[in-house]
Structure 1
Amino acid sequence: MQAAEWRESIRNKKILVLGLAKTGVSVVKHLQALGAIVTVNDFKPLDENKEAQSLIDENNARVVAGSHPVSLLDEDFAFMVKNPGIPYTNPMVVRALEIGLPVYTDVELADKMTDATIIGITGSNGKTTTTSLVGEMLSHASNLEGQSFVGGNIGIPSLDIASQASEADRLILELSSFQLMGASEFKPHIAAITNIYGAHLDYHGSMEEYISAKWRITANQTSEDYLILNADQKSVFGERQTNATIVPFSSTSQQIDGAWYDQATEKFMWHEEVVLDRRDLLLPGNHNVENMLVTMAVGKLLGVSNEDIKAGLAQFHGVKHRLQFVAEIDGRRFYNDSKATNNDATITALDSFMGPNDRVVWLAGGLDRGNTIDELGAHMDKVHAMVLSGESAEKFQALGQAKGITAIAKAEWIEDAVQKALDLSNEGDIILLSPASASWDQYPNFENRGDRYIKAIEALANPDSL
């Protein structure tokens, strides 16, 4: 069914939207705009539910709030749209499936709403960065008609972009396992699974169920579609089958018939062709090699030239607050990893700067949750100076001293920390904010901490703007 025909088919149809939040509100508004008769069911009581109140006041929506009454399903709904965060064990979802009522997530509606080419990206790690990278690359693609829209789990509801897209356009969707699990009709032209590690097992129940949810991305693909798959994780997927044309990528193999990284020459390769050099890129870290390979594969499948692929990837600074390149000042490169609120995230950041000539000034500290940070010590070989703040500053100071670091300063606020980091640095250094701590002892959230860090760096670069 073409998109225009589907849009017309839901006019005056009764549709149940289960669960609000940002995605649910978007679904309600777009379905109403298409002439559907929408009922909203959200568990949060109405007097505490600003989203539901707004839909009543501004959209004249019918809202049932405060519980999930299964009796609501006695009404003649055409289908249910489930918020991705609501599990399939929810009594409303269980009953809907029992009576044969179709249950969709927002991404399936987006697929139905538009005839645009859909590129779907999922995985345990790297899907947000990869989705953003693909969007940046395709914005430089001189061979493609139409526009490229980025959305989905990345924070922009999929229907918000599907409603704008024409057949000549592309939707680049970040897809979570929550959105894919149970998806019965979703069909991207290009699908990618960056990698699979244990995650969200409380929702899925087991690793097998989690992998199966991710594999739903390819369930409806044909041989005319593509599945970009991590060749370094072949064993993870077991005997699962796909009708799609598989395009492998590898960050460790010497050569494959797909996208691969030559570790000896630091070149990104497509089959036997050199596409770009790692030295042209701003994003650090081995984990970003996989993200770049997936992005490059998408570009090659869409016929994007090597020059346009390089132009897009070389200009990408990273997702904001996630090991984001901010600026280079006086030969110092500043990176913002404010979202690193735990040891694992900061280990990834520190390990990203292990080159023979790398030297790091590390900005760390924040809310003290009482956890140990000793495991960070094994990843501090390139750290020669530290600037510490927040409740956990003393803990980080002890860690630095145990590693023999003598250049350690303390700062009350991030603006002071930036200046002290600059004072402790030398030309060629990396100045890295990766706190390994939450921000709540001093800042409302990690975004606020990161934004203030960026502004402090901008002030260094443009002192006359103050």
Structure 2
Amino acid sequence: MKSGEQFNGKKVLVLGMAKSGEAAARLLHRLGATVIVNDALPYEGNRQAQELEKLGIQVICGHHPIELLDESFDYVVKNPGIPYSNPIVEGALKQGLVVVTEIELASMLSEAEIIAITGSNGKTTTTTLIYEMLKDGILQPLIAGNIGTVACEVAENATENHVMVLEVSSFQLLGTEQFRPKVSVLLNIFDAHLDYHGTKDEYVEAKAKITANQQKDDILIFNTDDKFVSQIASKSKATTIPFSANQRLTEGLFIENETIYFNKQPIIQTSEIVLPGAHNLENILAAIGAAITMGAKQERIKDVLMTFSGVEHRLQFILDFNGRRFYNDSKATNILASKKALEAFDQPIVLLAGGLDRGNNFDDLRASLKNVHTLVTFGQTKDKLTKVAKEAGVKSIIVADLMEDAVQKAFDQSNEGDVILLSPACASWDQYKTFEERGERFINAVQKLSTI
């Protein structure tokens, strides 16, 4: 880690706890900053707040008092989930304070070069693939961000012999000022998180910050099939490497005659790849580009692609029971993710979907429901999904309460040879704390069903 002397003696407000807030507070405290943490969760039962207080960090819990801004802070480190409409955030910006998320802190302190990956869909799979591909390379990979350990914790232990493989969201990117990855990967941009960003344009601008500070000696790997991504790439100062799953390119990564090429050099036959789903070819192309750029060996890349079958909660095969194959795609928190999951299968599908209502309609999902004969829907969006499923000609539509009820109803409506797929197309927060909790509930219900 770099010295971090710029924080010594400074006064920093950490707004919002969770994992990233706690990690940022601990790190800044160790660097000699005066840290005040403000978290909405009441002190009683707030284990993180109590632990930080033992270190001598001042913690204010239960609400966000605007009077905090009278403290004359030098920095505000904001939890990514806290919107910019929060009065403290608005007030801090009016005062001209630097308001950042902890990935900015990580990038300021990391001795390791950073590969940053973002997109509306496929971030976790691509991040994991890059991490695995780099394991036998010159630099030792460290995985961080949304997928693993908080970025600033990883940065604290990173040396110049490491490379940080960092999954980043639009929420995190919006809170950056100097963030400059050595390699940035931009997968796709779809209507997502509009409840947070307000408009599609603002969402695109947030994603564009992944390459905003890159220079000619940095690399941007981008999906040339996505018009919004291509627009960002056209304005980047980085050296660009395009990829396409749909067209032959004169340079970059593409597929021809069932072979993946990088700058016209063959890498692997698509028939050798284990990871299911045509949509994953885009993730694979991007991962290959980033891995080779950072020194991965082609033999290692092939080994990974011939053995890697996916990540938890992302089109994760659970089991085969009575001729039905169960898949957990709980990480499909938007329409695009569910579209791609549905298009990965040729078999008849029983779909479990629904969750938090972010104001989207689901018209874009309609065409992808062609193989779905039964929809089991739940959560705030159940009525919207019911409407679209009827329009798509789905034969059976059933409303369920919690996941256990949905799994049983899905099985009851299924036939031998069916895929039973949890791919919610929605965030989980109306019924579950995280998409991981939702996925685990699905897995447990499936396993219980198979033992009856």
TM-score by structure 2 length?
Answer: 0.79
Query: What displacement does 1:188 show?
Result: 0.4
8 Å CA contact 2:350–2:375 kept in 1: the answer is yes
Shifted more, 226-235 versus 17-26: the winner is 226-235
Query: What displacement does 1:5 show?
Result: 2.7
- The alignment's C-alpha RMSD in Å is 4.2
1:407-422 to structure 2, matched below 5 A, reads: none
What's the counterpart of residue 176 of structure 1? 169
Instruction: State how far apart, in whole Å, the 2-side matches of 1:49 and 1:404 are.
Output: 47
Instruction: State how far apart, in whole Å, the 1-side matches of 2:139 and 2:320 are.
Output: 35
Query: What displacement does 1:73 show?
Result: 3.1
Query: What displacement does 1:297 show?
Result: 0.7
2:230 paired with 1:233: no
What's the counterpart of residue 124 of structure 1? 120
8 Å CA contact 1:195–1:230 kept in 2: the answer is yes
Q: 2:93 aligns with which of 87, 97, 100?
A: 97
SS of 2:300's partner is: helix
2:33 paired with 1:36: yes
1:131-146 to structure 2, matched below 5 A, reads: 131-139=127-135, 142-146=136-140
8 Å CA contact 2:74–2:98 kept in 1: the answer is yes
Whichever residue aligns with residue 118 of structure 2, its letter is T
What's the counterpart of residue 239 of structure 2? 245
SS of 2:161's partner is: coil
Deviations 1:353-390 (A, max 9, x none): 2xxxx4346464799x9x9999978546556x879799
Instruction: State how far apart, in whole Å, the 2-side matches of 1:5 and 1:456 are.
Output: 52
8 Å CA contact 2:253–2:263 kept in 1: the answer is yes
Instruction: State how far apart, in whole Å, the 2-side matches of 1:372 and 1:243 are.
Output: 36
1:62-461 to structure 2, matched below 5 A, reads: 62-139=58-135, 142-146=136-140, 148-154=141-147, 156-234=149-227, 237=231, 241-262=235-256, 265-326=257-318, 335-339=327-331, 346-353=338-345, 358-360=346-348, 362=350, 364=352, 379=368, 425=416, 432-434=421-423, 445-452=437-444, 455=447
Query: What displacement does 1:256 show?
Result: 3.3
Closer, same or farther in 2 for the Cα pair 1:342/1:70, shift >3 Å?
closer
Deviations 1:43-87 (A, max 9, x none): x26346615642455433202234434443333433221212223
Whichever residue aligns with residue 149 of structure 2, its letter is I
Q: Percent identity?
A: 41
SS of 1:118's partner is: strand
SS of 1:232's partner is: coil
Closer, same or farther in 2 for the Cα pair 1:161/1:388, shift >3 Å?
same
Give the greater-gyration-radius structure (CA): 1
Deviations 1:363-421 (A, max 9, x none): 64799x9x9999978546556x87979999xx89x98xx7789xxxxx98799899989
8 Å CA contact 2:43–2:62 kept in 1: the answer is no
Closer, same or farther in 2 for the Cα pair 1:155/1:253, shift >3 Å?
same
Shifted more, 114-123 versus 306-315: the winner is 306-315
Query: What displacement does 1:258 show?
Result: 0.5
Whichever residue aligns with residue 112 of structure 2, its letter is A
What's the counterpart of residue 5 of structure 1? 3
Instruction: State how far apart, in whole Å, the 2-side matches of 1:362 and 1:234 are.
Output: 32
What's the counterpart of residue 24 of structure 2? 27
Query: How many residue pairs were aligned?
Result: 434
Query: What displacement does 1:329 show?
Result: 9.4
TM-score by structure 1 length?
Answer: 0.77
Closer, same or farther in 2 for the Cα pair 1:275/1:58, shift >3 Å?
same
Deviations 1:120-172 (A, max 9, x none): 11112221221122222223xx23233x1222123531112212222111111
Shifted more, 332-341 versus 436-445: the winner is 436-445
Closer, same or farther in 2 for the Cα pair 1:238/1:362, shift >3 Å?
closer
Closer, same or farther in 2 for the Cα pair 1:435/1:91, shift >3 Å?
closer
8 Å CA contact 2:260–2:270 kept in 1: the answer is yes
8 Å CA contact 1:283–1:325 kept in 2: the answer is no
SS of 2:37's partner is: strand
In structure 1, stretches of 5+ residues that fail to align are 406-410, 461-465
8 Å CA contact 1:342–1:438 kept in 2: the answer is yes
Deviations 1:23-49 (A, max 9, x none): 11111122223332211123x263466
8 Å CA contact 1:387–1:420 kept in 2: the answer is no
Whichever residue aligns with residue 212 of structure 2, its letter is A
Instruction: State how far apart, in whole Å, the 1-side matches of 2:362 and 2:203 are.
Output: 30
Instruction: State how far apart, in whole Å, the 2-side matches of 1:454 and 1:238 are.
Output: 42
Instruction: State how far apart, in whole Å, the 1-side matches of 2:405 and 2:149 are.
Output: 32
Query: What displacement does 1:194 show?
Result: 0.6
